[in-house]
Amino acid sequence: MQNNLQSFSQNDYEIIRREVLYQGIFRLARYHVRHRTFNGEWSQPFTREVLERQPAAAILPYDPVLDQVVLIEQFRAGALANPSSPWLIEIVAGVLDADEKPDNVAKREAVEEAGCKILDIYPVCEYFVSPGGSNEYLHLYCGRIDASEAGGVHGLSEENEDIRAFTVSAEEAFILLQEGKINTPPAIISLQWLQLNREWLRQLWQTK
């Protein structure tokens, strides 16, 4: 069955040339590549432009006692075309610096963006955010917190962050998700995961 899941490896493509087109907070590169095809031959050389950025970590803060989650809201320039508003409801997230562990980044960002101390952490999944045009890779977690005093405005002023953190019950968050009011992948995936795993997760964390 494993052969059905993975057809190729790192030995089945060739980077002919790589050009850096732009370097800022993000980097835009043009790759000239070729790769083996499903019929066993090699493709013709072709180009793809890739938005390159550091890996990131995101975390859904969850209080298993109060059965509440902490969500954040902030302005996003990439959502200017959103018909309702470029302020999006999200979960805490941040970019990894060199040699940082993803879970440590998630814990740090929870404090910076939501004022939440992570008491325990559980990995949800890892995934490529948009591999058709970006190399961004995300590590997603759920974190145990005490939500009794969570909320307020947070963020780093030197990074022009203006982030509102707020608490809602898990059921309210699921309704927001169902109504389409949450439309960022980390928030969608983590809340759907919580819907499926809430009962045993609460049992696990309430015993600590």
- Please identify which of the residues 158, 159, 179, 199 carries the catalytic annotation: 159
- Cβ count within 10 A of residue 193: 17
**Is 109 labelled as part of a ligand binding site?**
yes
Distance CA 189, CA 37 (A): 32
The answer to whether residue 41 is catalytic is: no
Give the end-to-end CA distance of the chain in Å, rounded to a whole number: 39
Geometric angle at alpha carbon 161, from 159 and 166, rounded to 5° = 150
Q: Write out the H or E segment, with its range, that includes residue 61.
A: strand 56-63
Distance CA 166, CA 69 (A): 8
The SS3 call for residue 135 is coil
**Is 93 labelled as part of a ligand binding site?**
yes
Q: Are 97 and 56 spatial neighbours (Cβ–Cβ below 8 Å)?
A: no
Q: How many CA atoms lie within 13 A of 197 on its CB side?
A: 15
Q: Which of 3, 38, 33, 40 minimizes the C-alpha distance to 18? A: 33
- The DSSP symbol for 122 reads E
**Is 90 labelled as part of a ligand binding site?**
no
**Is 73 labelled as part of a ligand binding site?**
no
* Catalytic site positions: 159
Please give the annotated binding residues for Mg(2+), written as ranges.
93, 109, 113, 161
